[in-house]
């Protein structure tokens, strides 16, 4: 195939170039199974689904709570009675071979899900098809599954996976071999795309079906931000993609090389840089770049598909791998922040969110508190309460924790902190701080609530709006007056405009995405804290976010990183 550009949809940013790799997507049609062998064929099909579920479970165990939840949904699907019944009909009644019966049954289920017309459920349909392909291959080949498929370009590291669609578990397992992913199906909100972004793998979705005609080992370049794939790219296009790949790798290596250098400004201000971690892989990246611990562990993301409140055992299974990987470093564990965009099926229609919802369900709250208490033994763990508005809520949560600890025979309690995420919380920050061991600002929600904006709308609001800055300043003063630390765990901590303002306002800790840890530490080492303080004071008196941005960018001596 000559050079050809194909346009799709951006799904995961970054450029890549490599050899095309198309894994077998179809199961060959076989003859009708004799009647006396059909029961055995049904057993083979059910065993293959069970093996596929086990494989998915192993993948999920190595991932973040939110990524694991996506993949663990496939485990539940493999055990769905309706799916098993459809497979039985396919094998026993219709005489289909195990692989064909699985493909037909999962295809029917996927079509039923996709037909509902909901975008999130459509992503589930892709997951069902992925499960079907995985189980069918196991049933047909009795091999070890997709990641060890001999049909791939063995020995190649930077492959561009081309497929009609792919499951999130496939992305996670194949990550070490992949430079990029090009799909006909899927989308930016599909679960495979979520995992790809988390792992830093460029992805393009929504490509024309002609992409499937590309032969294995054909050279392909991909731009995940532009949603573009070039088959047989020119030397210039290939070189540009190689430069992008090299730049990402060099940035990661540089962060690792200076990970032992403290995040201290030239004039002596120390800022603790932690990570928002949601997988073992992310934890490795964060620690490799010098993260001093986990500043936000979002426990609810492991249970977004839950059909009931998680049990203590389920909480511990999600929590303990992350704590073990920290090897004594501190971790801030936020209790379930269900509600709004993070509402599992069993809570649909419930208006409460965060701590208020937990206090309204004390038995479920106690299950999580006990799991944290057990996992926190001999570890540096702090507990974070989400969406706090009043000090009475902190007191009530502390009382429940004391009861949970007494039931377990645990005397020492982990420190309890409160999240400041609403204007009301910022107004009550001094009272809340009196009952908290630390404060943490969730800038995403605080910005949306302060400015009356949709936090999920593009460019809906900017965190450096003076009204938001004043709430942050008020919270910093409240924390320091109470003699406790203040952390910022929202995305603002890795924003080039916002970081010098946060340092200038006096925050003690920042927690950022794993991939941004090294960059943020580097910025802090080049910041002039005293001048940042003057900048922050002047920003508080401005009227608009645009004025604040211009003020920050005009002071290149405060943060040289902004001079470009």
Contact between residue 489 and residue 295 where contact means Cβ atoms under 8 Å apart: yes
The catalytic position among 42, 46, 159, 489 is 489
User: Do you know the residue count of the chain?
Assistant: 564
Q: How far is CA 213 from CA 178, 234, 387, in A?
A: 19, 19, 51
Q: What is the DSSP letter of 64?
A: -
Which residue(s) pair with 47 in the sheet? none
**Helix H segments across 362-422?**
362-376, 391-408
Token pair 């997951």 is at which residue?
A: 127
| Structural contact between residues 245 and 15, judged by C-beta atoms closer than 8 angstroms | yes
Task: Tell me 270's DSSP state.
Answer: B
Report in angstroms the alpha-carbon separations of 360 from 63, 353, 357, 400, 430: 31, 10, 5, 12, 25
Reading the block at residue 104, the tokens are: 């037909």
Phi, psi of 221 (to 5 degrees): -115, 155
CB 90 within 8 A of CB 100: yes
Q: Which position among 42, 46, 191, 315 bears the catalytic label?
A: 191
480 included as an active-site residue: no
Distance, in Å, from the CA atom of 53 to the CA atom of 78, rounded to the nearest integer, reads 6
Residue 191 a catalytic site member:
yes
Count H helices, E strands: the chain?
21, 16
Nearest to 194 by CA among 148, 291, 126, 131: 126
Query: Is residue 474 classed as helix, strand or coil in its secondary structure?
Result: helix
Phi-psi region of 410 (alpha: psi -120 to 50; beta: other; left: phi over 0): beta
Q: Who contacts 48 (Cβ-Cβ below 8 Å, separation ≥6)?
A: 98, 99, 102, 135, 136, 138, 139
Cβ 319 vs Cβ 312: under 8 Å: no
Residue 296, class by beta-carbon neighbours within 10 Å (0-12 exposed, 13-18 middle, 19+ buried)?
buried
Q: Which residues are catalytic?
A: 191, 489
């Amino acid at each position: 195939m000559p050079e050809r550009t194909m346009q799709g949809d951006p799904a995961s940013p970054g450029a890549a170039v490599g050899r095309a790799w198309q894994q077998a997507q179809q199961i060959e049609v076989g003859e009708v199974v004799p009647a006396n062998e059909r029961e055995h064929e049904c057993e083979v099909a059910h065993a293959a689904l069970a093996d596929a579920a086990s494989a998915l479970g192993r993948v999920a165990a190595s991932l973040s709570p939110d990524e694991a939840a996506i993949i663990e949904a496939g485990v539940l699907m493999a055990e769905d009675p309706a799916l098993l019944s459809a497979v039985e009909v396919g094998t026993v009644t219709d005489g289909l071979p195990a692989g064909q019966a699985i493909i037909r049954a999962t295809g029917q289920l996927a079509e039923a899900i996709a037909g509902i017309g909901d975008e999130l459920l459509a992503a589930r349909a892709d997951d069902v098809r992925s499960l079907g392909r995985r189980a069918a291959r196991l049933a047909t080949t009795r091999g070890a599954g997709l990641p060890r498929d001999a049909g791939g370009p063995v020995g190649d590291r930077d492959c561009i996976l081309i497929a009609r669609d792919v499951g999130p578990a496939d992305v996670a397992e194949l990550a070490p071999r992949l430079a990029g992913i090009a799909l006909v199906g899927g989308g930016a909100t599909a679960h495979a795309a979520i995992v790809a972004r988390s792992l830093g793998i460029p992805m393009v979705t929504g490509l024309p079906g002609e992409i499937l005609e590309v032969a294995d080992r054909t050279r392909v370049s991909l731009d995940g931000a532009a949603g573009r794939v070039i088959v047989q790219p020119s030397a210039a296009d290939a070189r540009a993609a190689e430069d992008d790949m090299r730049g990402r790798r060099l940035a990661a290596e540089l962060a690792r090389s200076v990970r032992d250098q403290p995040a201290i400004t030239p004039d002596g201000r120390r800022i603790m840089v932690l990570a928002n971690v949601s997988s073992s892989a992310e934890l490795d990246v964060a620690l490799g770049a010098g993260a001093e611990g986990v500043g936000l562990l979002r426990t609810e993301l492991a249970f977004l598909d839950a059909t009931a409140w998680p049990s203590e055992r389920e909480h511990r299974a999600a929590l303990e791998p992350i704590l073990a990987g920290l090897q004594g470093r501190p971790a801030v564990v936020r209790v379930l922040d269900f509600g709004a965009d993070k509402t599992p099926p069993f809570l649909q229609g419930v208006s409460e969110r965060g701590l208020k919802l937990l206090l309204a369900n004390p038995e479920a709250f106690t299950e999580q508190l006990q799991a944290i208490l057990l996992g926190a033994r001999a570890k540096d763990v702090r507990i974070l309460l989400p969406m706090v508005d009043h000090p009475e809520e902190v007191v009530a949560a502390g009382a429940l924790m004391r009861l949970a600890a007494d039931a377990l025979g645990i005397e020492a309690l982990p420190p309890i902190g409160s999240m400041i995420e609403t204007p009301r919380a910022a107004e009550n920050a001094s009272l809340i701080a009196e009952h908290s061991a630390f404060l943490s600002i969730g800038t995403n929600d605080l910005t949306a609530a302060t400015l009356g904006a949709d936090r999920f709308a593009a460019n809906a609001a900017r965190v450096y709006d003076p009204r938001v800055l004043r709430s942050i300043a008020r919270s910093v003063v409240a924390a320091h007056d109470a003699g406790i630390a203040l952390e910022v765990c929202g995305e603002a901590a890795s924003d080039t405009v916002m970081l010098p303002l946060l340092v200038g306002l006096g925050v003690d800790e920042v927690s950022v995405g794993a991939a941004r840890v090294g960059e943020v530490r580097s910025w802090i080492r080049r910041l002039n804290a005293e001048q940042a303080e003057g900048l922050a004071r002047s920003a508080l008196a401005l009227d608009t976010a645009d004025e604040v941005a211009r003020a920050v960018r005009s002071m290149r001596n405060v943060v040289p990183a902004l001079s470009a």
